[in-house]
Amino acid sequence: MIKFPEADSLPLTPAVPKPEFRGDAAYLLVGGLGGLGKAIAGWMATHGAKHFMFLSRSAGKSDEDQAFIKELTGMGCSAQCFPGDVVDTEIVRAAIDQSQKPIKGVMQMAMVLRDIGVMGMDIDSWNQATRPKIEGTWNLHHLLPKDMDFFINFSSVGGTFGYYGQSNYASANTFLDAFVQYRQSLGLAASVMDIGPVDDVGYVSRTPATRETLLGTLETLLTEQNFLDNLQLAIARSSPAYAPPKSDDKLAGYMNRAHIVQSCESKMPIMDPKNGSMWKRDPRMAIYRNIQKTSSLETDETTDHLKQFLASVMSDPGKLDQKTSVEMIATELALCVTSFLMKGDDEIDLSLSLAAAGVDSLVAIEVRNWWRQSLGIEVSVLELMNGGSIEALGEMAAKRLKDKFGAT
């Protein structure tokens, strides 16, 4: 006879809480109109955020920025854009003073790359890479309210493990890691993400040569969803409650749960001479074992098919002119829609628009996220819903992929 314990004593697997943002507060995204910033703002908007402030040197000036702001407006959000440098104290002060709502969170994403060997680096190259993260962060610290829910700093694994030619960038990121400890010591919200290369959005996705090099040495990159999952954790741990306890025990070691390192695994054996992982010789990674557990999503035959197709057109963008390429993308999009609508094995006619296929605004957001993550190009919900048939959307995707990969 099997006897179970009392029901209330059965262990339960803790559920991951859904992210929640306040509709009566403003959130400041510094450098937040790049690929990662747009992905973050869209994600926040789907989870309650209503008021956004964007501060960067060109915030709101491009057609892409305006299209994205229009998209946020369509989602019931407001967006204020402040073109200027976060290093400029008066620009930061003016932006904060013009906030339409109390500011309850900030994401410091300012980044400038000036890669050069340390022996050939001049002071200008050093300052250009360090000032946005160092002086800009001090400005935010001094001028923003002290009662915010989170203060997220976007650092890099380059500051954790180091990388050739990036001593200036690494130093700036190391400052952010230490700065979080300082804010925690004051009882203020703070956390930091040391981010690895993200495939779907951001700098790497916009730089094919860099992406190809990273894939060649790591064979894997972070996905947008990996990034957002870690961002949710960083927001939760930005609370002062997560500050490391003070201890006089010098042998106790140091651990900070508000300092999150988001690096990449490597599918290539650690001793392979082609393995270019920046951490492979780091003593802190001595216990690393090259074991992979691939998710069902990553091993899905359809996903592999699409990845193979994208790899082929990256090396030969001219293939995107072929009708078969458009049909292939449109078919993958239709399969995505079928999955989100839970229609099983039912096929969707490529001549239908998304609306005619049954896609509403919420599903359209999921389709937009799939488009960004799977194809690595931008699209708005409005473009998807007003873009005509699924086949026409395939043509749109093919054209944007062609532009991305530099085809003529």
394 in the same domain as 250? no
Task: Look at residue 348 in the predicted model and tell me its pLDDT.
Answer: 83
For tokens 């557990």, name the residue: 293
Does residue 15 belong to any structural domain of this protein?
no
Q: Are residues 31 and 179 in the same domain?
A: yes
Do 201 and 77 lie in one domain? The reply is: yes
Summarised one tens digit per residue, pLDDT across range 207-253 is 666 666 665 555 567 778 888 888 999 999 999 888 887 766 665 56
Domain boundary among 246, 262, 278: 262
**Residue 34 and residue 87 share a domain:** yes
In the prediction, which pLDDT does 309 show?
83
Nearest to 99 by CA among 116, 111, 82, 123: 82
List the one residue out of 14, 39, 40 whose CA is nearest residue 27.
40
Cα 201 to Cα 227: distance, rounded to the nearest angstrom = 10
Residue 299 banded pLDDT, cuts 50, 70, 90: very low
Task: Please say if the pLDDT value at position 291 is more than 50.
Answer: no
Distance, in Å, from the CA atom of 393 to the CA atom of 383, rounded to the nearest integer, reads: 9
Q: At residue 285, does pLDDT exceed 90? A: no
In a domain, 7, yes or no: no
Of the residues 240, 262, 284, which one is the last residue of a structural domain?
A: 262
Number of domains, the chain? 2
- Is 65 a member of any domain? yes
Q: 112 pLDDT exceeds 80?
A: yes
Q: Are residues 226 and 88 in the same domain?
A: yes
> Which residues are CB-neighbours of 165 under 8 A, at least 6 positions away?
115, 116, 117
312 and 257 assigned to the same domain: no
Domain assignment present for 325 = yes
Q: Are residues 82 and 192 in the same domain?
A: yes
Q: What is the pLDDT of residue 208?
A: 66
Query: Of residues 384 and 302, which shows the higher confidence score?
Result: 384
Q: From CA 393, how far away is CA 62, in angstroms rounded?
A: 23
Q: Pick the range with the lowest mean pLDDT from 12-21, 78-87, 92-101, 262-271.
A: 262-271
pLDDT at 177 over 70: yes
Other Cβ atoms closer than 10 A to 342: 7
Rounded CA separation 271/281 (Å): 10
Domain for residue 379, yes or no? yes
Please give the residue range of the domain that contains residue 400.
Answer: 296-404
Q: Is residue 136 a contact partner of residue 87, using CB atoms and an 8 Å limit?
A: yes
Q: Are residues 50 and 180 in the same domain?
A: yes
pLDDT for res 78: 96
- The one-letter amino acid code at 331 reads T
pLDDT 10s digits, 32-86: 788 888 999 999 999 999 999 999 999 989 999 999 999 999 999 999 999 999 9
Query: Is residue 382 pLDDT above 80, yes or no?
Result: yes
Read off the pLDDT of each residue in 172-183 and give the average, rounded to a whole number: 94
What pLDDT shows up at residue 283?
65
| End position of a domain, from candidates 262, 286, 317 | 262
238 plus 312 within the same structural domain: no
CATH of the domain at 313: 1.10.1200.10
Let me know if residue 82 belongs to a domain: yes
In a domain? residue 34: yes
Query: Do 367 and 384 contact (CB within 8 A), yes or no?
Result: yes
pLDDT at position 151 is 97
Band of the pLDDT at 26, cuts 50, 70, 90? Answer: very high
Q: What is the mean pLDDT of residues 369-382?
A: 87
pLDDT band, very low/low/confident/very high, at 405 (cuts 50, 70, 90): confident
pLDDT band for 297, please (50, 70, 90 cuts). Answer: very low
Q: Taking Cα atoms as reference points, which of 45, 57, 38, 47 lies closest to residue 19?
A: 47
**Residue 254 and residue 350 in one domain:** no
Residues 177, 77 share a domain: yes
Q: What is the CATH number of the domain that holds 54?
A: 3.40.50.720
Q: Burial level of 89, CB count in 10 A (0-12/13-18/19+)? A: middle
pLDDT of residue 195: 83
The residue that leads in pLDDT, 157 or 110, is 110
- Position 335 scores a pLDDT of 87
Same structural domain for residues 232 and 378?
A: no
Identify whether the C-beta of residue 133 lies closer than 8 Å to the C-beta of residue 172. yes
**Position 67 in a domain:** yes
Quote the pTM value.
Answer: 0.65
Reported as a single tens digit per residue, the pLDDT across 191-204 is: 999 887 776 665 66
